[in-house]
Protein backbone atom coordinates (compact mmCIF):
# COMPACT_ATOMS: atom_id res chain seq x y z
CA UNK A 1 0.00 0.00 0.00
CA UNK A 2 1.54 3.26 -1.10
CA UNK A 3 -0.97 5.96 -0.16
CA UNK A 4 1.10 8.73 1.33
CA UNK A 5 0.29 10.60 4.53
CA UNK A 6 -1.49 13.91 4.01
CA UNK A 7 0.61 17.05 4.24
CA UNK A 8 -0.87 17.88 7.64
CA UNK A 9 0.63 14.67 9.00
CA UNK A 10 3.91 15.14 7.16
CA UNK A 11 4.13 18.68 8.53
CA UNK A 12 3.79 17.60 12.16
CA UNK A 13 6.76 18.63 14.32
CA UNK A 14 8.84 15.71 15.60
CA UNK A 15 7.34 14.11 18.72
CA UNK A 16 8.65 16.04 21.70
CA UNK A 17 9.49 13.01 23.81
CA UNK A 18 10.89 10.74 21.10
CA UNK A 19 14.62 11.06 21.85
CA UNK A 20 13.97 11.21 25.60
CA UNK A 21 11.81 8.08 25.43
CA UNK A 22 14.60 6.28 23.58
CA UNK A 23 17.24 7.26 26.14
CA UNK A 24 14.89 6.46 29.01
CA UNK A 25 14.17 2.97 27.64
CA UNK A 26 17.92 2.39 27.25
CA UNK A 27 18.59 3.33 30.88
CA UNK A 28 15.67 1.29 32.21
CA UNK A 29 16.95 -1.72 30.27
CA UNK A 30 20.31 -1.24 32.04
CA UNK A 31 18.47 -1.31 35.36
CA UNK A 32 18.89 2.41 36.19
CA UNK A 33 16.40 3.77 38.75
CA UNK A 34 14.90 6.53 36.57
CA UNK A 35 13.08 9.51 38.15
CA UNK A 36 10.53 10.87 35.70
CA UNK A 37 9.96 14.64 35.87
CA UNK A 38 9.13 14.72 32.18
CA UNK A 39 5.40 14.40 31.81
CA UNK A 40 2.69 16.73 33.14
CA UNK A 41 0.39 14.02 34.47
CA UNK A 42 -0.59 14.13 38.17
CA UNK A 43 0.61 11.09 40.14
CA UNK A 44 -2.13 11.60 42.76
CA UNK A 45 -5.41 9.63 42.57
CA UNK A 46 -8.85 11.08 41.77
CA UNK A 47 -10.64 11.94 45.07
CA UNK A 48 -12.91 9.06 46.26
CA UNK A 49 -16.21 11.00 46.29
CA UNK A 50 -15.82 11.63 42.54
CA UNK A 51 -15.13 7.95 41.82
CA UNK A 52 -18.15 6.92 43.90
CA UNK A 53 -20.39 9.21 41.84
CA UNK A 54 -19.11 7.55 38.66
CA UNK A 55 -19.79 4.09 40.09
CA UNK A 56 -23.41 4.99 40.87
CA UNK A 57 -23.99 6.77 37.58
CA UNK A 58 -22.52 3.88 35.57
CA UNK A 59 -25.21 1.55 36.96
CA UNK A 60 -28.08 3.73 35.65
CA UNK A 61 -29.22 2.63 32.15
CA UNK A 62 -30.32 6.21 31.41
CA UNK A 63 -26.61 7.03 31.19
CA UNK A 64 -25.79 4.28 28.69
CA UNK A 65 -27.08 6.09 25.61
CA UNK A 66 -25.54 8.83 23.49
CA UNK A 67 -24.99 11.98 25.51
CA UNK A 68 -26.27 15.40 24.37
CA UNK A 69 -23.73 16.93 21.95
CA UNK A 70 -23.34 20.12 23.93
CA UNK A 71 -23.13 18.27 27.24
CA UNK A 72 -25.65 17.32 29.94
CA UNK A 73 -27.61 20.23 31.33
CA UNK A 74 -26.65 19.03 34.81
CA UNK A 75 -22.94 19.39 33.97
CA UNK A 76 -23.26 22.76 32.23
CA UNK A 77 -25.34 24.08 35.16
CA UNK A 78 -22.63 22.90 37.56
CA UNK A 79 -19.98 24.70 35.48
CA UNK A 80 -22.00 27.93 35.64
CA UNK A 81 -22.40 27.58 39.44
CA UNK A 82 -18.67 26.90 39.84
CA UNK A 83 -17.80 29.96 37.73
CA UNK A 84 -20.08 32.14 39.81
CA UNK A 85 -18.61 30.87 43.10
CA UNK A 86 -14.98 30.85 41.98
CA UNK A 87 -14.77 33.94 39.73
CA UNK A 88 -18.08 35.78 40.26
CA UNK A 89 -18.70 35.50 36.51
CA UNK A 90 -22.26 34.85 35.25
CA UNK A 91 -22.65 32.30 32.45
CA UNK A 92 -25.73 31.16 30.56
CA UNK A 93 -25.34 27.35 30.72
CA UNK A 94 -27.17 26.77 27.42
CA UNK A 95 -25.25 29.18 25.18
CA UNK A 96 -22.01 30.00 27.02
CA UNK A 97 -20.91 26.57 28.30
CA UNK A 98 -19.83 23.52 26.28
CA UNK A 99 -18.70 20.13 27.63
CA UNK A 100 -15.42 18.87 26.13
CA UNK A 101 -13.65 15.51 26.00
CA UNK A 102 -10.82 17.18 27.89
CA UNK A 103 -9.73 20.72 27.07
CA UNK A 104 -7.15 19.43 24.55
CA UNK A 105 -10.02 18.21 22.38
CA UNK A 106 -11.72 21.60 22.39
CA UNK A 107 -8.50 23.51 21.73
CA UNK A 108 -7.65 21.18 18.83
CA UNK A 109 -11.09 21.65 17.24
CA UNK A 110 -11.52 25.40 17.69
CA UNK A 111 -9.41 26.51 14.69
CA UNK A 112 -11.53 24.30 12.40
CA UNK A 113 -14.47 26.56 13.26
CA UNK A 114 -12.78 29.90 12.52
CA UNK A 115 -9.62 29.43 10.44
CA UNK A 116 -9.79 29.20 6.65
CA UNK A 117 -6.76 28.07 4.63
CA UNK A 118 -4.25 30.91 4.68
CA UNK A 119 -5.67 32.60 7.79
CA UNK A 120 -3.43 33.71 10.63
CA UNK A 121 -3.41 32.83 14.34
CA UNK A 122 -1.27 34.39 17.06
CA UNK A 123 0.39 31.63 19.07
CA UNK A 124 2.78 31.85 22.03
CA UNK A 125 6.09 30.00 22.16
CA UNK A 126 7.26 28.11 24.19
CA UNK A 127 3.80 26.56 24.53
CA UNK A 128 1.57 23.55 24.71
CA UNK A 129 2.07 22.19 21.16
CA UNK A 130 -1.65 21.76 20.43
CA UNK A 131 -2.26 25.46 19.60
CA UNK A 132 0.14 25.56 16.68
CA UNK A 133 -0.66 22.08 15.38
CA UNK A 134 -4.42 22.66 15.38
CA UNK A 135 -3.97 25.91 13.43
CA UNK A 136 -1.88 23.98 10.89
CA UNK A 137 -4.54 21.22 10.66
CA UNK A 138 -7.09 23.92 9.77
CA UNK A 139 -4.80 25.20 6.99
CA UNK A 140 -3.82 28.33 8.89
CA UNK A 141 -0.46 29.87 9.71
CA UNK A 142 0.83 30.71 13.18
CA UNK A 143 2.53 34.00 13.97
CA UNK A 144 4.75 33.21 16.95
CA UNK A 145 4.64 35.43 20.04
CA UNK A 146 7.86 34.69 21.99
CA UNK A 147 7.51 34.37 25.77
CA UNK A 148 10.68 35.64 27.41
CA UNK A 149 11.75 36.16 31.01
CA UNK A 150 12.25 39.94 30.56
CA UNK A 151 8.50 40.28 29.88
CA UNK A 152 7.40 37.86 32.62
CA UNK A 153 6.74 35.20 29.96
CA UNK A 154 3.79 37.24 28.69
CA UNK A 155 3.52 37.97 24.95
CA UNK A 156 4.35 41.55 24.05
CA UNK A 157 1.35 42.55 21.94
CA UNK A 158 3.08 45.76 20.83
CA UNK A 159 5.64 43.63 18.96
CA UNK A 160 2.98 42.19 16.66
CA UNK A 161 3.16 43.97 13.29
CA UNK A 162 0.04 46.00 12.47
CA UNK A 163 -0.57 44.06 9.28
CA UNK A 164 -0.30 40.71 11.08
CA UNK A 165 -2.70 41.84 13.80
CA UNK A 166 -5.22 42.99 11.20
CA UNK A 167 -5.18 39.60 9.49
CA UNK A 168 -5.23 37.44 12.62
CA UNK A 169 -8.40 35.56 13.55
CA UNK A 170 -7.35 33.79 16.75
CA UNK A 171 -5.08 34.58 19.68
CA UNK A 172 -4.02 31.82 22.10
CA UNK A 173 -2.89 32.54 25.64
CA UNK A 174 -2.39 30.21 28.61
CA UNK A 175 -2.08 31.39 32.25
CA UNK A 176 -1.03 29.98 34.63
CA UNK A 177 1.37 28.91 31.91
CA UNK A 178 2.69 25.57 30.77
CA UNK A 179 5.72 25.26 30.48
CA UNK A 180 7.03 28.47 32.14
CA UNK A 181 4.85 28.49 35.29
CA UNK A 182 4.20 32.22 34.68
CA UNK A 183 0.95 33.90 35.75
CA UNK A 184 -0.99 36.83 34.31
CA UNK A 185 -2.75 39.70 36.06
CA UNK A 186 -5.82 41.80 35.23
CA UNK A 187 -3.71 44.49 33.53
CA UNK A 188 -2.41 41.96 31.00
CA UNK A 189 -5.87 40.52 30.33
CA UNK A 190 -7.22 44.08 29.86
CA UNK A 191 -4.55 44.72 27.21
CA UNK A 192 -5.53 41.48 25.49
CA UNK A 193 -9.21 42.50 25.43
CA UNK A 194 -8.38 45.94 23.99
CA UNK A 195 -6.11 44.36 21.36
CA UNK A 196 -8.74 41.78 20.38
CA UNK A 197 -11.44 44.47 20.08
CA UNK A 198 -9.23 46.73 18.03
CA UNK A 199 -8.32 44.03 15.50
CA UNK A 200 -11.44 41.83 15.73
CA UNK A 201 -9.65 38.71 17.01
CA UNK A 202 -11.03 35.76 18.99
CA UNK A 203 -9.13 35.17 22.24
CA UNK A 204 -8.72 31.58 23.44
CA UNK A 205 -7.49 31.46 26.99
CA UNK A 206 -6.34 28.04 28.19
CA UNK A 207 -6.91 28.05 31.96
CA UNK A 208 -6.12 24.38 32.66
CA UNK A 209 -4.03 25.35 35.72
CA UNK A 210 -6.35 27.93 37.28
CA UNK A 211 -6.68 25.85 40.47
CA UNK A 212 -3.10 24.64 40.77
CA UNK A 213 -1.67 27.65 42.61
CA UNK A 214 0.36 28.22 45.76
CA UNK A 215 1.03 30.51 48.71
CA UNK A 216 -2.65 31.54 48.74
CA UNK A 217 -2.47 32.94 45.21
CA UNK A 218 -5.72 32.53 43.25
CA UNK A 219 -5.40 32.89 39.48
CA UNK A 220 -8.14 34.94 37.85
CA UNK A 221 -10.38 34.06 34.93
CA UNK A 222 -9.88 35.94 31.66
CA UNK A 223 -13.66 36.42 31.69
CA UNK A 224 -13.44 38.55 34.86
CA UNK A 225 -12.06 41.41 32.78
CA UNK A 226 -14.70 43.81 31.36
CA UNK A 227 -15.34 43.11 27.69
CA UNK A 228 -13.69 39.67 27.69
CA UNK A 229 -17.01 37.94 27.06
CA UNK A 230 -17.32 39.96 23.81
CA UNK A 231 -14.05 38.65 22.40
CA UNK A 232 -13.17 35.29 23.81
CA UNK A 233 -13.57 31.94 25.41
CA UNK A 234 -11.76 30.13 28.17
CA UNK A 235 -10.84 26.46 28.32
CA UNK A 236 -10.90 24.57 31.60
CA UNK A 237 -10.09 21.05 32.52
CA UNK A 238 -10.94 18.75 35.40
CA UNK A 239 -7.68 16.92 34.60
CA UNK A 240 -5.28 18.88 36.77
CA UNK A 241 -7.72 20.28 39.35
CA UNK A 242 -9.14 16.90 40.42
CA UNK A 243 -6.44 14.49 39.17
CA UNK A 244 -8.72 13.29 36.38
CA UNK A 245 -6.43 13.24 33.33
CA UNK A 246 -7.59 9.76 32.34
CA UNK A 247 -11.30 10.56 32.58
CA UNK A 248 -11.37 12.99 29.63
CA UNK A 249 -13.61 15.84 30.71
CA UNK A 250 -13.21 19.59 30.41
CA UNK A 251 -15.23 22.57 29.25
CA UNK A 252 -15.18 25.78 27.25
CA UNK A 253 -17.00 28.91 28.44
CA UNK A 254 -17.49 32.44 27.16
CA UNK A 255 -18.64 34.17 23.99
CA UNK A 256 -21.77 32.42 22.65
CA UNK A 257 -20.84 32.88 18.97
CA UNK A 258 -17.43 31.26 19.49
CA UNK A 259 -18.93 28.47 21.62
CA UNK A 260 -21.52 27.73 18.91
CA UNK A 261 -18.82 27.52 16.21
CA UNK A 262 -16.88 25.00 18.28
CA UNK A 263 -20.10 23.09 19.05
CA UNK A 264 -20.87 22.77 15.33
CA UNK A 265 -17.46 21.22 14.62
CA UNK A 266 -17.80 18.84 17.56
CA UNK A 267 -21.29 17.67 16.66
CA UNK A 268 -19.84 16.43 13.37
CA UNK A 269 -16.82 14.73 14.92
CA UNK A 270 -17.68 13.25 18.32
CA UNK A 271 -20.74 12.35 20.33
CA UNK A 272 -19.97 13.89 23.68
CA UNK A 273 -18.72 12.69 27.05
CA UNK A 274 -20.15 9.58 28.79
CA UNK A 275 -22.97 10.86 30.99
CA UNK A 276 -21.62 9.01 34.02
CA UNK A 277 -18.33 10.90 33.66
CA UNK A 278 -20.22 14.20 33.36
CA UNK A 279 -22.15 13.38 36.56
CA UNK A 280 -18.84 12.63 38.29
CA UNK A 281 -17.75 16.03 36.97
CA UNK A 282 -20.80 17.62 38.64
CA UNK A 283 -19.71 16.00 41.90
CA UNK A 284 -16.16 17.35 41.40
CA UNK A 285 -17.31 20.94 40.76
CA UNK A 286 -20.14 21.07 43.33
CA UNK A 287 -18.59 18.82 45.98
CA UNK A 288 -16.17 19.44 48.81
CA UNK A 289 -13.19 21.47 47.51
CA UNK A 290 -10.86 20.33 50.32
CA UNK A 291 -9.29 17.94 47.84
CA UNK A 292 -8.12 20.94 45.79
CA UNK A 293 -6.44 22.53 48.81
CA UNK A 294 -4.76 19.24 49.67
CA UNK A 295 -3.47 18.95 46.11
CA UNK A 296 -2.10 22.49 46.30
CA UNK A 297 -0.34 21.80 49.61
CA UNK A 298 1.33 18.67 48.22
CA UNK A 299 2.67 20.41 45.10
CA UNK A 300 3.77 23.45 47.10
CA UNK A 301 5.88 21.26 49.39
CA UNK A 302 7.40 19.47 46.40
CA UNK A 303 8.05 22.78 44.66
CA UNK A 304 9.98 24.07 47.65
CA UNK A 305 12.11 20.92 47.89
CA UNK A 306 13.06 21.06 44.21
CA UNK A 307 13.65 24.82 44.07
CA UNK A 308 15.90 24.77 47.15
CA UNK A 309 17.87 21.88 45.67
CA UNK A 310 18.28 23.54 42.26
CA UNK A 311 19.47 26.73 43.91
CA UNK A 312 22.01 24.82 46.00
CA UNK A 313 23.21 23.37 42.70
CA UNK A 314 23.73 26.92 41.42
CA UNK A 315 20.73 27.05 39.09
CA UNK A 316 18.63 30.20 39.14
CA UNK A 317 15.20 28.52 39.22
CA UNK A 318 12.26 30.66 40.39
CA UNK A 319 9.45 29.11 42.45
CA UNK A 320 6.31 29.10 40.28
CA UNK A 321 3.23 30.75 41.82
CA UNK A 322 1.11 28.23 39.96
CA UNK A 323 1.28 25.02 37.85
CA UNK A 324 3.31 21.94 38.75
CA UNK A 325 6.21 22.96 36.49
CA UNK A 326 9.60 24.34 37.39
CA UNK A 327 11.09 26.24 34.44
CA UNK A 328 14.76 25.89 35.18
CA UNK A 329 17.51 27.77 33.32
CA UNK A 330 20.32 25.53 32.06
CA UNK A 331 23.86 25.95 33.39
CA UNK A 332 25.80 28.60 31.48
CA UNK A 333 26.79 27.55 27.97
CA UNK A 334 24.60 24.46 27.95
CA UNK A 335 21.65 24.04 25.57
CA UNK A 336 18.29 22.63 26.66
CA UNK A 337 19.03 19.37 24.84
CA UNK A 338 22.53 19.10 26.38
CA UNK A 339 21.27 19.63 29.92
CA UNK A 340 18.33 17.26 29.48
CA UNK A 341 20.71 14.58 28.17
CA UNK A 342 23.15 15.17 31.04
CA UNK A 343 20.42 14.91 33.68
CA UNK A 344 19.20 11.69 32.10
CA UNK A 345 22.57 10.00 31.47
CA UNK A 346 24.41 11.08 34.62
CA UNK A 347 21.57 11.33 37.14
CA UNK A 348 18.78 9.15 35.71
CA UNK A 349 16.37 12.10 35.78
CA UNK A 350 13.92 12.67 32.93
CA UNK A 351 13.13 16.33 32.17
CA UNK A 352 11.81 18.07 29.06
CA UNK A 353 14.06 20.38 27.03
CA UNK A 354 12.55 23.88 26.90
CA UNK A 355 13.39 24.10 23.21
CA UNK A 356 10.93 21.26 22.58
CA UNK A 357 8.12 23.72 23.38
CA UNK A 358 9.41 26.16 20.78
CA UNK A 359 12.68 27.93 19.99
CA UNK A 360 12.22 30.73 22.59
CA UNK A 361 12.25 27.97 25.24
CA UNK A 362 15.94 27.31 24.48
CA UNK A 363 18.09 27.68 27.59
CA UNK A 364 15.53 26.06 29.91
CA UNK A 365 14.37 22.63 30.97
CA UNK A 366 10.92 21.88 32.36
CA UNK A 367 10.64 19.74 35.47
CA UNK A 368 7.21 18.45 36.49
CA UNK A 369 6.49 17.98 40.22
CA UNK A 370 4.81 14.63 39.59
CA UNK A 371 6.77 12.37 41.93
CA UNK A 372 6.54 12.28 45.74
CA UNK A 373 8.78 14.36 47.97
CA UNK A 374 11.14 11.48 48.82
CA UNK A 375 11.79 10.91 45.11
CA UNK A 376 12.25 14.64 44.55
CA UNK A 377 14.75 14.75 47.42
CA UNK A 378 16.56 11.86 45.75
CA UNK A 379 16.54 13.80 42.45
CA UNK A 380 18.05 16.79 44.25
CA UNK A 381 20.83 14.65 45.80
CA UNK A 382 21.69 13.32 42.35
CA UNK A 383 21.74 16.80 40.79
CA UNK A 384 24.03 18.07 43.56
CA UNK A 385 26.62 15.42 42.59
CA UNK A 386 26.80 16.68 39.00
CA UNK A 387 29.31 19.21 37.80
CA UNK A 388 29.19 21.57 34.89
C1 LIG B 1 -2.75 19.47 30.80
C2 LIG B 1 -3.08 20.61 29.93
C3 LIG B 1 -4.37 20.75 29.40
C4 LIG B 1 -5.44 19.79 29.80
O5 LIG B 1 -5.73 18.85 28.90
P6 LIG B 1 -6.99 17.92 29.08
O7 LIG B 1 -7.27 17.55 27.67
O8 LIG B 1 -8.10 18.70 29.69
O9 LIG B 1 -6.57 16.77 29.92
C10 LIG B 1 -4.66 21.84 28.62
N11 LIG B 1 -3.74 22.80 28.38
C12 LIG B 1 -2.51 22.72 28.89
C13 LIG B 1 -1.56 23.82 28.66
C14 LIG B 1 -2.13 21.62 29.66
O15 LIG B 1 -0.89 21.52 30.14
pLDDT digits (tens, 9 = 90+) for 239-283: 999 999 999 999 999 999 999 999 999 999 999 999 999 999 999
pLDDT at 17 over 80: no
Q: How far is the CA of 175 from the centre of ligand 1 (A)?
A: 12
pLDDT digits (tens, 9 = 90+) for 287-318: 999 999 999 999 999 999 999 999 999 999 99
Which of 189 and 25 is assigned the larger pLDDT?
189
What is the C-alpha to C-alpha distance for residues 240 and 262, in angstroms, rounded to an integer?
A: 23
Number of alpha carbons in the 13 Å side-chain half-sphere of residue 201: 28
Region 338-365: what's the mean pLDDT? 96
**How large is the C-alpha radius of gyration of the chain?**
21
Q: Could you tell me where the beta strands, DSSP code E, fall in the chain?
A: 35-36, 97-100, 120-125, 141-146, 168-174, 202-206, 232-237, 250-254, 325-329, 349-350, 352-353, 364-368
Q: How far is the CA of 250 from the centre of ligand 1 (A)?
A: 9
Q: Are 110 and 262 in contact (CB under 8 A)?
A: yes
What is the C-alpha to C-alpha distance for residues 38 and 266, in angstroms, rounded to an integer?
A: 31
Q: What is the pLDDT of residue 14?
A: 79
Pairing of strands 250-254, 232-237: antiparallel
Q: How confident is the model at residue 194 (pLDDT cuts 50, 70, 90)?
A: very high
pLDDT at 24 over 90: no
Nearest ligand 1 atom to the CA of 103 is 8
Q: How far is the CA of 133 from the centre of ligand 1 (A)?
A: 15
Q: How far is the CA of 351 from the centre of ligand 1 (A)?
A: 18
Q: How far is the CA of 294 from the centre of ligand 1 (A)?
A: 20
Is the beta carbon of 208 within 6 A of some atom in ligand 1? yes
What structural domains and CATH numbers belong to the chain? 7-45+290-385 (3.90.1150.10), 48-288 (3.40.640.10)
pLDDT digits (tens, 9 = 90+) for 218-241: 999 999 999 999 999 999 999 999
Q: What is the pLDDT of residue 21?
A: 82
pTM for this entry? 0.97
Q: Are 252 and 234 in contact (CB under 8 A)?
A: yes
Q: What is the pLDDT of residue 313?
A: 97
Is the beta carbon of 379 within 6 A of some atom in ligand 1? no
Q: Could you tell me what percent of the chain has a pLDDT over 90?
A: 94
Q: How confident is the model at residue 69 (pLDDT cuts 50, 70, 90)?
A: confident
pLDDT digits (tens, 9 = 90+) for 162-190: 999 999 999 999 999 999 999 999 999 99
Residues, the chain, total?
Answer: 388
Nearest ligand 1 atom to the CA of 178 is 13
Q: Which of 176, 290, 292 is nearest to 243 (CA)?
A: 292
**Cα angle vertex 208, ends 16, 348, to 5°?**
40
Q: Are 78 and 253 in contact (CB under 8 A)?
A: no
Across the chain, mean pLDDT equals: 96
Amino acid sequence: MSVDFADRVKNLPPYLFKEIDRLKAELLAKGVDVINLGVGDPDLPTPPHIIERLQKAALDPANHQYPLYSGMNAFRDAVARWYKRRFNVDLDPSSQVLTLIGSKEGIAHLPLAFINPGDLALVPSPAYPVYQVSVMFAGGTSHIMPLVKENGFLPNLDDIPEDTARHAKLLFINYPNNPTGAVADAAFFEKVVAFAKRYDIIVCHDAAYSEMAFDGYRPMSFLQVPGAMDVGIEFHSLSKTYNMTGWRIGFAVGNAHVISGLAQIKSNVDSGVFNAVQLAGVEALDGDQNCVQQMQAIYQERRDILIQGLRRAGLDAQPPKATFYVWCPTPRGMSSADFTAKLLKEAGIVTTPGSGFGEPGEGYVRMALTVDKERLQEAVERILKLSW
